[in-house]
């Protein structure tokens, strides 16, 4: 396997920080031991944790107003994978990439898979795109795709999803994520029920074509690009459609796709309860679908979501196997740094959720002791688990301090020279 960054540099940096890390780790180990928690067992769980990187996150995103490309951005999916390999080399919890078509379309998907193999990467869910028109596309998605009034447009959108499955099969993926921007901008523009019926008929055609070992992830989003109503607007619409389609259709929760202040962790619990949680697009948001870096604004919310996930994991909830992916837009940071940091922040929430004294929590819940119940969660959240995360990375061969090593490596500067006409990478505008 080729490594993107000199392994010697990683080792050297790790050795320099080894004594301090060991001291911090030992101290945290003693704190956890007083709570009856074995730090080694938690570190093992941290080592097993994985979250997929979105291929489109490796380039600068942008807004409706402008995109400001950074130096050396990947120009194609091969280069996107090289950046993903840097991320994985340093953080060791991002072994897979979620591709987006046609942004990541190539002539030869087996060549792409070989490239990923050589970099030590695999593929997570593939994403279809019927929210934009592509050059040369016969029919427009201006008024919708899977739910369009014109059956010919619907057929085109279905066909695109079917080809995404074919490409994904070559890549070794086993899930299709379908997000449509279909909706309306004016009251009265669309008939809500007829529109959803058309969507369901199209989604059924895709669902029926899924290979035996594939799942279909339905991603909801409150608004944008449609600003009055959206076909799969909320988790209610999403779960109703998933229930209509069948067991292998489940709901994907993108953290930025809800109204402000919505209780996302409770939505997650509901979806788990009814075996309908497909997985996540992690990011953070202040106003809407901001696609800010995971955990940058609401780390406690992210922890509370993981509290539900760990609860389900520890109770051995049937059929519980969510896919974890990032979905962010990086406008003012180096995307590699943001993705590394975000992967760590998601892993941090997971590890903190593992520290919750669950038996105590259940007892406080039974006794209706709101104060001690909530403090039980806070007791886990308030601990700094950074030494566990660093230790897990080092044991996996990654960097204790990924951003410091990345900066010292000069990778961005090097690729800037090799990628002269950058700025062409996949959009983050949606």
Closest CA to 147 of 250, 231, 207: 231
Instruction: Give 370: exposed, middle or buried? Use CB within 10 Å, 0-12, 13-18, 19+.
Output: exposed
Q: Looking at beta carbons only, is 179 or 350 nearer to ligand LRH?
A: 179
Q: Which residues bind Mn ion (CB under 5 A)?
A: 254, 281, 289, 327
CB of 291 to Mn ion, least distance (A): 6
Question: Which does residue 123 touch among ligand LRH, Mn ion, none (CB within 5 to 8 A, set by kind)?
Answer: none
Handedness of CA 224, 226, 228, 232 (dihedral sign): negative
Give how many residues touch ligand LRH by CB under 6 A: 10
Contacting ligand LRH (CB under 6 A), which of 82, 83, 215, 289? Answer: 289
The least CB distance from residue 289 to Mn ion, in Å, is: 4
Applying CB under 6 A, does 330 fall inside the site for ligand LRH?
no
Compute the distance between CA of residue 332 and CA of residue 176 in angstroms, rounded to an integer.
30
Task: Give the H or E element holding residue 7.
Answer: helix 7-34
Query: What 3-state class would DSSP assign to 273?
Result: helix
Task: Please report whether residue 284 would count as binding ligand LRH according to CB under 6 A.
Answer: no
Instruction: Kindly report the length of the chain.
Output: 430
Min separation Cβ 109 and Mn ion, Å: 23
Shortest spacing between CB 380 and ligand LRH, in angstroms: 29
158 binds ligand LRH (CB under 6 A): no
Residue 139 structure tokens: 């029919």
- Minimum Å gap between C-beta 430 and ligand LRH is 5
List C-alpha distances in Å: 127 to 51, 75, 177, 319: 16, 19, 5, 23
Query: Residue 386: CB partners within 8 Å, gap ≥ 6?
Result: 24, 348
- Alpha-carbon distance 317 to 323, whole Å? 15
Residue 129 CB, nearest approach to ligand LRH (Å)? 7
Q: How many CA atoms lie within 13 A of 248 on its CB side?
A: 16
124 makes contact with ligand LRH (CB under 6 A): no
The reply to whether 179 sits near ligand LRH by the rule CB under 6 A is yes
Omega of the bond prior to 148 within 30 degrees of 0, cis? no
Residue selected from 14, 88, 96, 127 as contacting ligand LRH according to rule CB under 6 A: 127
Contact code string over 180-219 relative to ligand LRH, x by CB under 6 A = ---------------------------------------x
- In three-state secondary structure terms, 225 is coil
Helix, strand or coil for residue 240?
helix
Tell which one of 79, 254, 293, 313 touches ligand LRH (CB under 6 A).
254
CA atoms within 13 A on the CB side of 318: 3
Residue nearest to ligand LRH according to CB distances in the complex: 179
User: What string marks each residue from 46 to 85 as x (binds ligand LRH by CB under 6 A) or -?
Assistant: ----------x-----------------------------
- Interacting partner of 127 out of ligand LRH, Mn ion, none (Cβ under 5 to 8 A depending on kind): ligand LRH
- In the complex with ligand LRH, the residue whose CB is nearer, 128 or 409, is 128
Residue 141 is a binding residue for ligand LRH (CB under 6 A): no
Nearer to ligand LRH, 122 or 225 (CB): 225
Binding ligand LRH (rule: CB under 6 A), the pick from 124, 327, 344, 345 is 327
* Chain residues 385-404 in contact with ligand LRH, contact rule CB under 6 A: none
| Two tokens, residue 328 | 């962010």
Measured from the CB atom, the residue of 56 and 406 that comes closer to ligand LRH is 56
Among ligand LRH, Mn ion, none, residue 180 binds (CB under 5-8 Å by kind): none
CB of 106 to ligand LRH, least distance (A): 18
Peptide bond into 429 cis (omega under 30): no
| 27 burial type by CB count under 10 A (0-12 exposed, 13-18 middle, 19+ buried) | exposed
Q: Which of 80, 148, 221, 330 binds ligand LRH (CB under 6 A)?
A: 221
Q: What are the φ and ψ backbone dihedral angles of 315, each rounded to 5 degrees? A: -85, -5
Q: Per CB under 6 A, does 281 bind ligand LRH?
A: yes
Task: Tell me how far CA of residue 186 lies from CA of 189, 192, 228, 297, 418, in angstroms.
Answer: 5, 12, 6, 33, 48
Instruction: State the residues that interact with ligand LRH by CB under 6 A.
Output: 56, 127, 179, 219, 221, 254, 281, 289, 327, 430
């Amino acid at each position: 396997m080729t490594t993107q960054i000199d392994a010697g540099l990683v080792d050297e940096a790790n050795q320099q920080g080894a004594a301090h890390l060991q001291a911090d780790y030992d101290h945290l180990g003693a704190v956890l031991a007083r709570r009856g928690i074995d730090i080694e067992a938690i570190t093992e769980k941290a080592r097993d944790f994985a979250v997929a990187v979105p291929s489109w996150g490796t380039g600068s995103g942008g807004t409706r107003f402008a995109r400001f490309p950074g130096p050396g951005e990947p120009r194609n999916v091969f280069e996107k994978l090289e950046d993903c390999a840097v991320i994985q080399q340093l953080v060791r919890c991002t072994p897979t990439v979620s591709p987006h078509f046609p942004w990541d379309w190539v002539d030869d998907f087996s060549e792409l898979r070989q490239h990923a193999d050589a970099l030590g990467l695999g593929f997570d869910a593939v994403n279809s795109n019927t929210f934009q028109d592509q050059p040369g596309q016969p029919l427009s998605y201006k008024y919708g795709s899977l739910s369009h009034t014109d059956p010919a447009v619907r057929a085109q959108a279905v066909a695109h999803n079917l080809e995404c499955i074919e490409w994904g099969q070559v890549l070794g993926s086993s899930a299709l994520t379908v997000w449509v921007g279909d909706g309306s901008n004016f009251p009265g523009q669309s008939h809500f029920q007829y529109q959803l019926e058309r969507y369901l008929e199209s989604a059924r055609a895709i669902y029926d074509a899924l290979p035996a070992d594939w799942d279909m992830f339905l991603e909801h989003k409150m608004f944008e690009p449609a600003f009055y109503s959206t076909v799969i607007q909320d988790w209610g619409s999403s779960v109703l459609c998933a229930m209509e389609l069948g067991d292998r259709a489940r709901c994907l929760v993108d953290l930025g796709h809800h109204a402000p202040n919505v209780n996302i962790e409770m939505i997650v619990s509901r979806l788990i309860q009814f075996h309908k949680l497909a997985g996540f697009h992690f990011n953070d948001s202040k106003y809407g679908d901001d696609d800010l870096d995971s955990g940058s604004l609401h780390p406690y919310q992210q922890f509370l979501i993981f509290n539900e996930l760990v609860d389900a994991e520890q109770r051995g909830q049937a059929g519980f196997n969510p896919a974890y992916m990032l979905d962010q837009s990086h406008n003012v940071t180096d995307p590699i740094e943001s993705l590394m940091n975000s992967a760590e922040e998601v892993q941090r929430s997971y590890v903190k959720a593992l520290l919750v004294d669950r038996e105590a929590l259940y007892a406080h819940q039974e006794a209706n002791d709101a104060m001690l119940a909530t403090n039980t969660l806070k007791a886990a959240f308030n601990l700094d688990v950074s030494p566990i995360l660093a230790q897990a990375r080092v044991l996996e061969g990654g960097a204790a301090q990924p951003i410091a090593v990345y900066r010292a490596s000069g990778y961005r500067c090097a690729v800037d020279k090799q990628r002269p006409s950058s700025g062409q990478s996949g959009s983050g505008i949606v």
